[in-house]
A = this chain, B = another copy of it.
Amino acid sequence: MLRSCAAPLRSLGALRGPRGGACPPLCEPRPALRSFSSEKVIYKDFSIPNPSWSKDLRLLFDQFMKKCEDGSWKCLPLYKHGSLQRIQDFKTFFHDPKFTKEDVMTQTRLFTSSFEEGLGFEHAMFYNDVEKRTVCLFQGGLYLEGMPGFLHGGAIATMIDSTLGMSALIAGGIVMTANLNINFKRPIPLCSVVVINSQVDKVEGRKIFVSGNVQSADEKTLHSEATGLFIQLDPDKSLT
C-alpha cells in the first residue's frame, strides 16, 4: 500500500526542502518558531515544542536535541502540508492527474499534523545514521481516544506506521508500506508520552524490513511491538 508515506513523505520533503524554500540542514539548532514560504504554501515545522507539550515530552525533546549537538542524531522537521517537491515526486509514479492537482493538495493535511495544537499527534522525530535508528517522541491528545482514557489503536498504528516508514524512507527514498503487523501489549493513557523506536533490519532488493516498539517515557512499560515491510519505489532516491 502506498499510504504509509504520511510521515515518510512529509519528511522526504523536509529533508530536501520545499521547492524554493530554505529548509535548514538537519541537526541545526532550532528556533522557537520556524516557517518557510514556497510559492503559495507556508511550511511550518510542527515538531517544535508548543504549550500543549507536557513536561515529559519537553524533557525528552531537550535530551535528544542535546544528542544532536555532536552530529550523532538529527532532528527531522515535520510539516502540515506536503511540499511541491513531494507532489512532483509522486507525479512521477501516479499519472492520474486527479490525484495530484495542486489546488486540491493545498486543502489537504497530512494526517499526523491535522489536529489543532495539543488535541492530536504531538510528536518529534530523530534519526541516528550510525545506528540506522529512528525515534519518535509522541504525546497523543484528547481527540485520539479509543477506550475511555486511552489512545485508540488506530492512533498508535498511525504513529508506528509513520516512524517505521521514516526508517524505510531514509534507507530507501520513496517507499510504500506493504505490511504492518502490530502486537498491542499495554494500553497507552491519553496525553502520556511514549517513545517509538524503529530500525531497518534488512533490505532485500526493493523490500525494506523494519521493526520497532513503543515504550513509556521511563522505558519501564512496553506498550507495543511491530514489524513493517516497505517497498522501495525508486532505488535511485535513497537518502543515505
Residues of A with Cβ closer than 8 Å to B?
1-6, 9, 82, 86-87, 90, 94, 98-100, 104-105, 107-112, 114-115, 119-120, 142-162, 165, 176-190, 223-224
Task: Please tell me if the beta carbons of A90 and B148 are within 8 angstroms of each other in the complex.
Answer: yes
A151 neighbours in B (Cβ, 8 Å): 3, 111
Contacts of A178 in B (CB 8 A): 183-184
CA distance A183 to B148 in the complex (A): 29
Given A108-B190, A179-B183, A223-B1, A154-B162 contact (CB < 8 Å): yes
How many copies of this chain sit in the oligomeric assembly?
2
Contact partners of A224 in chain B: CB under 8 A = 1
A159 neighbours in B (Cβ, 8 Å): 154
In the assembled complex, the Cα of A6 lies from the Cα of B154 at a distance in Å of: 9
CA gap between A155 and B109 in the complex, in Å: 13
Q: Which residues of B contact A6 (CB under 8 A)?
A: 145-147, 152-154
What's the nearest-Cβ distance from chain B to residue A185, in Å?
6
Known A161-B157, A187-B3; contact A143-B105, beta-carbon cutoff 8 A:
no
**Given A94-B149, A114-B115, list of 8 further CB < 8 A pairs?**
A4-B152, A98-B189, A99-B148, A99-B149, A108-B145, A111-B145, A147-B176, A157-B161
A223 to chain B, nearest CB (A): 7
Complex alpha-carbon distance, A176 and B143, angstroms: 19
Show 15 residue pairs from A and B whose CB-CB distance is below 8 angstroms, ordered by the A residue.
A2-B184, A3-B146, A4-B146, A4-B152, A105-B149, A111-B144, A111-B154, A111-B155, A112-B152, A114-B145, A154-B158, A157-B157, A157-B161, A180-B180, A181-B182
Q: How far is the CA of A100 from the CA of B223 in the complex (A)?
A: 19
Query: A86 vs B188: C-alpha distance in the bound complex, in angstroms?
Result: 18
- Contact (Cβ within 8 A) B180 A153: yes
Residues of B within 8 Å of A107, CB to CB, are 142
Q: Which one of A149, A150, A177 has the greatest number of beta carbons of chain B within 10 Å? A: A149
